[in-house]
Structure 1
Amino acid sequence: MRVILISYSAQGFALLHSVCERAGHTPVAYLHARSLRPGEPTRHGAGDVVGEIVDALPNGMDLLIPGRKSALPHIVAGYQADLIVCYGFPWKLPPAVLRATNLGAINVHTSMLPKYRGPIPVNWAIRNGDKEIGVSIHWMESEFDSGGVLAQEAGITLGDDVVPQPLWEEVDRCIERLLPRALSLAVAGSPGSPQEEGSATYAGWMEPEFSQIDWSTAREVIHNQVRAIRFGSSGKSGPVATVAGRRLRVLRTSLQPGDGIKVMCGNGPVWITESVPVTDSQS
């Protein structure tokens, strides 16, 4: 089977490529989004990511970096592919793209669908205090993350301090287990298990207010707010709060007594164990 791979990084492409090849399928092109939405400016850092992808490209492999999606159906159709395999693509693929291969497209999503459809499911799981996440591989349809589920596995633990690299390594191991099964089912024409629409939730981009701490909120909510932003920034950032008249960027908190600043929240104390001052230029 000829497959087009869509992913967010060199590591993502390498994972999909190796699993597809071991399953007896041939990747014929890579596709990567340089912007969060079609037609928008290239996102910060995209050049470095593209450089890493190019450095790791297999010999003869095409890398497609579209700026808009109107030409995608014709480009995809030109590869005469059987299937698109996607893992990490922020755009909604038009139906014409999904019809441009013989079988359609499948997507790897880091949640137990139908929970947390959308672009940042892990961040929302941390924000909501979930103890674990999972991986789902599903058919792509016109709406985000709504197609029949071909393979699914839970049990990836979210600790109190979620460090991105070990978490994504565990996610990758889960994908290595699930993707061969999903590919076999796709070849066999399985529609997958329908999702329960009544249980669907959406994990969209965080609202601007999420970057500020409101100390009247419950302490668990504030702790998870710090955890989610810390995870999303790989430990480099956190929400801003005013503490004793000083503006701080809160990088780490504890619900248990610890070294740091004790602050009363809506239902009890939280301890700020790591923070940095907010400068005037960051306000």
Structure 2
Amino acid sequence: MTVRAVVFAYHQVGVRCLQVLLARGVEVALVVTHQDNPAENIWFDSVAALAAEHRLPTLMPTDGHANELLAAVRAANADFIFSFYYRQMLSPELLALARQGAFNMHGSLLPKYRGRVPVNWAIVQGETQTGATLHEMTAKPDAGAIVAQTAVPILPDDTAAQVFDKVTVAAEQTLWNSLPALLSGTAPRLPNILANGSYFGARKPEDGRIDWRQPAQTVYNLIRAVAPPYPGAFTEINGKRLVIARARLVAVDQLTCPDLPPGLQIVDNTLFGICGDGRAIAIHDLQHQGRSISSAELTEMTNT
């Protein structure tokens, strides 16, 4: 028997999970995705383009709660509703239209890091692992019963983009492995104990401002968490915003600078960020207005 689904999806996880459904023989009756924001750096693949390749009916509503969307989902007569990195909460009225359930793929090991941009937050908080979780959708975000999850490591120098690549694969594996049981009605429903987790909101570019008075590990976590293609961690000199695009935490026994004040410093013609605990971060790519600048340019900028 063919299983019908409505898929709300965006971003890389949306593309890969939609491909999993198609590979498993699910009939995708409707795809709902977002129009790309011209002000955003679109570094990921397009759900809309994938849907067009497969000639799947597609909507890109500006209002996720519009009556027209509700009517379209109702007309799709779906057994399941899936949400794969779709950026809006689905209303209880929408969720109720799925005869066999509505499920979301979240980029963390729930109940930890419920909410927005979980990969970035996990790195900011210094986590050593994260993952992907398939769970039931409820009116409360990321709060439904867990079907399955897959963990991935966060290595000490991983950036958010590198971890996101791992999470994308984890999401694909989680869906691929759990889908047969889900479609047959035999998938587990594991408790999602919210008291054991955490909720985090969206991040803004301004949240990337560096406070050099903090310990070096804290600063380095921020740099990794928002490194390009995200907006980047930044500092300012004479009103000029400088983005640290690539850096590395210096080992404790290699360079400590207790006599240098926190901030950008040039030591032996090498650029470092000195932090509040005296430890240093070696800066390999410092950018101003999207262009890499040298130590000499930084010196000139500092003196003007």
What range describes the TM-score normalised by the shorter chain of this pair?
0.7 to 0.9
How big is the shift at 1:16? 2.5
Q: Which of 1 and 2 has greater Rg?
A: 2
> Which residue matches 1:118?
115
Are residues 2 and 154 of structure 1, via their aligned partners in 2, closer, same or farther at CA, if it must alter by over 3 Å?
Answer: same
The DSSP-based 3-state class of the residue aligned with 1:57 is helix
Count of residues in correspondence between the two structures? 268
Alpha-carbon separation, structure 2, partners of 1:49 and 1:157? 21
- TM-score w.r.t. structure 2 length? 0.76
Q: Which runs of 5+ in 1 are unaligned?
A: 36-41
> Which residue matches 2:276?
266
Fraction of identical pairs, as percent: 26
8 Å contact from structure 1 (residues 262, 269) kept in 2:
no
The DSSP-based 3-state class of the residue aligned with 2:246 is strand
1:100 aligns with 2:110: no
8 Å contact from structure 2 (residues 4, 79) kept in 1:
yes
How big is the shift at 1:209? 4.8
Q: Which runs of 5+ in 2 are unaligned?
A: 256-268, 291-304
Q: How do 1:118-137 and structure 2 match up within 5 A? A: 118-137=115-134
RMSD: 3.1
Residue type of the alignment partner of 1:254: R
The DSSP-based 3-state class of the residue aligned with 1:266 is coil
Are residues 275 and 154 of structure 1, via their aligned partners in 2, closer, same or farther at CA, if it must alter by over 3 Å?
Answer: same
Measured against aligned partners, the alpha-carbon deviations of 1:49-103 in whole angstroms (never above 9, x if no partner) come to 8977236524441111011122232221110011012211111111000011212
Residue type of the alignment partner of 1:267: D
> Which residue matches 1:34?
35
> Which residue matches 1:250?
244
8 Å contact from structure 2 (residues 152, 167) kept in 1:
no
Residue type of the alignment partner of 2:248: S
How big is the shift at 1:5? 1.6
Are residues 175 and 278 of structure 1, via their aligned partners in 2, closer, same or farther at CA, if it must alter by over 3 Å?
Answer: closer
Q: How do 1:1-283 and structure 2 match up within 5 A? A: 1-9=3-11, 12-34=13-35, 42=37, 44-45=39-40, 53-54=48-49, 57-68=52-63, 69-71=65-67, 72-162=69-159, 164=161, 167-187=163-183, 188=185, 190=187, 192-206=189-203, 209-230=206-227, 233-234=228-229, 237-242=231-236, 248-256=242-250, 257=254, 260-271=270-281, 272-277=283-288
- TM-score w.r.t. structure 1 length? 0.81
